[in-house]
Structure 1
Amino acid sequence: MTASSARVPARRWQVLDGTALKLLAMALMTADHIHQMFAPAGAPLWLTILGRPVFPLFLFAAAEGFHYTRSRRRYLLRLLLASWGMTLLTTVLQQAVPEPGVVLMNNAFSTFFVTGVYIQSWDWLTAGLRARRSGLVRRPGLVLRGLLAALLPLAGMLPALAAGVLSFREDVPLAVLRGLAFLSLLLPNPLLIEGGPALAALGVLFYIFRKNRAAQVAALGALTALVWLRRPGDIQCWMAAAALPILLYNGRPGRGWKPLFYLYYPAHIAALYLAAALL
């Protein structure tokens, strides 16, 4: 499960490394979440417009990280644990300090986890199919593993679906429905991840086309076009602005600072929420 270390050659004008890309996304994300927490107090709309490119940028960085990580198992485990941590954090915050004007549904880690699972599924499936075409029989289980990995996030939808069905029955205790709903948040799945299945699919496409920057930007453009066709003028279409930093990416990881990115996300969400609730 160790990825190849070969990198796409950079051009002179590609000046952003992986760390710079993430720092840019963090700054834009902070502006977006300031709007989320303080919109009832009059935070301007342009703050959330600035945040529209954030998810594509982080998905792009996650796809790069998944390719170059030394252990995909540990990478996915970190994302899963971080996803659980965000679920617990947002649940505790909203119960301890209620703020009716803000609903915390922020858990990008769950989206990155689902994206990573499907990237691994893609790799297993393609490797298994290549092995079959070449007549190799030493790796017959790769296709099966790929299919099972693809089904794993879908299984996480079962508690949410069960809660939806049972909610129509008057004899089911409310505590059971709440327990199923909370369990569904702990099992990252395409139905409930932040950004929805379309953004997870974008992350997988970033990975598949990682050696073709034009194809990656085209995938982002295609998703933006779909959003525009469904909701003309929707501010989500500003996510297309992520194309410029992606084109400026030089393929180098930068300084890393991995703990910073894992800690800043929950820390700034908690700080902004508490400020909005208390002030």
Structure 2
Amino acid sequence: MQIAKKVRGLTTFDLKVIGVILMVVDHVHQMFYPLGAPNWLDWFGRPVATIFFFTSVVGFSHTHDKKKYMERLYISMVLMSLVTWLLEKTVHFEQVVLINNIFRDLFIGTMFMAGVDQFVAAKNGNKARHISLGILWVAIPFIFSVITTMIVGAQSVPLLIKQIAVGIFPAILLAENNIMVLLIPLLYLFRNNKKIQCLLIAITALLYGLSGSTQWLMIFAIIPIWLYNGQKGPGMKYFFYIFYPAHIAVLYWLAAFLYRTMH
């Protein structure tokens, strides 16, 4: 017991810092791969999404205004789409395709969590309404995936409209981590049981491992998550919202500049 008391553990802030550091290494690989960045740098990024999924669950669970939390993520998702579009149009670094938008994954995750809240609320009455809203929240990312596919695949639709649709639609098909986003509502369901949360992460990692994907390395996210002490830590509410697009832009521009210099 004395040893346990000495172990401080990791706060939500600490988890985000770990996630940001690993994310930057991963994006260095992404941007500088055409210049010879080694593939093993990509391994550092595999636990990142899982760490941010977990902190999103924590954030959504404790926020005083879930609506504003969701609105903030949606606005960030749209702005990030605009940032990547502008970068590709102005920098013209065709060797790297910018699909980066973790805000889309996290916003879709909040829709799933909102759906879970509705299903839980159904126990307290007005079941038809809550269950219907729950199904709607869960279905929206899949509905928009179908709509987006139809718009993007239609030859009669102008390119600008297609780009706008991709930017504003919370389609799980467009999510950076695709169906792995489904891990978010599962972590939310068991937000009070860290053992089951870690088991869910391990099972997901196993499935990726069996498919031959390096995403199985997400299992290492269990280490910081297991050490999470339930505390918020220093408040830097908007740091990640600013740092994420900023570091993508800087790395993308720098890689493009060096690539042109070398070639």
Both structures adopt the same fold (TM-score exceeding 0.5): yes
* SS, match of residue 251 in structure 1: coil
- The TM-score with structure 1 as length reference comes to 0.86
- The letter for the 1-side match of 2:239 is L
Give the whole-Å Cα distance in 1 for the aligned partners of 2:224 and 2:131: 35
Mapped pair 1:125 → 2:119: yes
Match of 2:203 in 1: 222
In the aligned structure 2, how far is the partner of 1:97 from the partner of 1:268?
15
Aligned residues of 1:14 and 1:247 also touching (Cα < 8 A): no
Question: 1:83: which partner in 2?
Answer: 77
Instruction: Give the partner amino acid of 2:188.
Output: Y
Q: Which residue of 2 aligns with 1:7?
A: none
Q: Please say if 1:28 is aligned against 2:22.
A: yes
Shift of 1:178: 4.8
Q: Percent identity?
A: 33
Q: State the AA in 2 paired with 1:202.
A: L
Choose from 217, 230, 236 the match for 1:257. 236
The answer for the alignment partner of 1:182 in structure 2 is 164
Supply the AA of the counterpart residue of 2:179.
Answer: P
1:40 to 30, 34, 41: 34
Given the alignment, which residue of 191, 197, 205 partners 1:210?
191
Q: 2:133 aligns with which of 124, 139, 145?
A: 145
Query: C-alpha deviations, 1:19-59, integer Å up to 9, x for none?
Result: 01100110010000000000111112222111111000000
Structure 1 unmatched ranges of 5 or more = 1-10
Q: Per-residue deviation at 1:94?
A: 0.4
Aligned-partner residue type, residue 123 of structure 1: D
Match of residue 246 from structure 2: 267
- 1:70 aligns with 64
Equivalent pairs counted in the alignment come to: 254
Q: Measure the CA separation in 1 of the matches of 2:35 and 2:200.
A: 36
Q: Which runs of 4+ in 1 moved over 3 A?
A: 11-14
Taking structure 2 as the reference length, what is the TM-score of the superposition? 0.91
Aligned-pair RMSD on alpha carbons? Answer: 1.6
Q: Indicate conservation of the 8 Å contact 1:159/1:180, yes or no.
A: no
Q: Matched residues in 2 for 1:105 and 1:274: separation? A: 15
How far did 1:186 drift? 1.5
- For 1:247, the equivalent position in structure 2 comes to 226
1:135-176 CA distance string (max 9 Å, x none): x45x65222221222222223224422135424xxxx2xx62
Greater per-residue helix proportion: 2
Match of 1:5 in 2: none
